[in-house]
Amino acid sequence: MQMTDAIEEFARHLTDVRRLSPATVRAYTADLRDLDQGYTLEEIDIEHLREWLWTATQRGDARSTIARRAAGARSFFRWAVSAGHLLSDPSARLQSPKRGRPLPRVASADAMSTVLDAARVAADHGDAVALRDAAVLELLYASALRVSELCGIDLDDLDQERGTVRVTGKGAKQRTAPYGRPAQLAIDRYLASGRPVLVARGTGTPALFLGARGSRIGSRAVYDVVSRKVGPAVGAAALGPHALRHSAATHLLDGGADLRAVQEMLGHASLGTTQIYTHVSAEKLTQSYRLAHPRA
């Protein structure tokens, strides 16, 4: 059976049986016509299909486009087998290219310094919420915490002598994360002048960070703090607390920290999850190289 005939029959199947939209049918058939190089349906094998996808890659097609082509080919050949046109499916071992994992948004070290300095200055007026916000931002960035971990911290989770905090991460796994002198100072100021004001508004809680009504702070309130304080510095109105975690991990690696040490600090079960931050650092290096090297 000629590919041209099979494609036309498949298009009718997509329209009449699967009830796909005309635009989707056109996209499927256009991809398949690109595969049709005068072969019969029976002559197409896995090597033809791999060569077809490789050609699209060399042509510069987007990964999403190539993934769509692979999905369309698998659908076409499964139909051909079910319709009795083929005895076996040549696309059964055809794999789509993995979609690139998006790199996290990262604030520069200078931007973070500006944000944290501004938060400290705002807290100088002694407002309880401003003192809390400064401590929240410092600790999120210093210890690369998840927002749920920050919200779950109790007073007795702090070890102020050692400069560490015990947090409960994914899967109820506990770990100890360090924090530095600026975070310590911000926490001290908050505990001395901010938290007593907030806790008086509630019924009493062991939580370190409190909301405006005196109960344990929620993730939505932390999102609001980060969005207001950090978002403008990096040009992202919807920036969330995870951006500080991303930034901290990237800056640690930029500064020469060991990848496994960063993995432990972040509480990642897999080193592969941590390695995305090496990609961010590598991208930064590439940009610097292109700007600075005379032979770039």
Catalytic positions are: 146, 170, 242, 245, 268, 277
Tokens of 36: 């049709």
Name the 3-class secondary structure at 218: coil
Burial of 292 (0-12, 13-18, 19+ CB in 10 A): exposed
- Map 105-152 to HEC letters: CCCCHHHHHHHHHHHHHHHCCCCHHHHHHHHHHHHHHHHCCCHHHHHC
Q: Which helix (H) or strand (E) holds 242?
A: helix 242-254
Bridge partner residues of 154 (DSSP): 207
DSSP states of 80-92: HHHTTS-SS-TTT
Which is it for the CA torsion 240, 243, 248, 251, positive or negative? negative
Q: Which helix (H) or strand (E) holds 165?
A: strand 164-168
Whether residue 31 contacts residue 94, with contact meaning beta carbons closer than 8 Å, is answered with no
Tokens of 209: 């960070």
Q: Report how far Cα 222 is from the mean position of its chain's Cα atoms.
A: 18
**Would you give the DSSP letter of residue 103?**
P
Tokens of 191: 């505990």
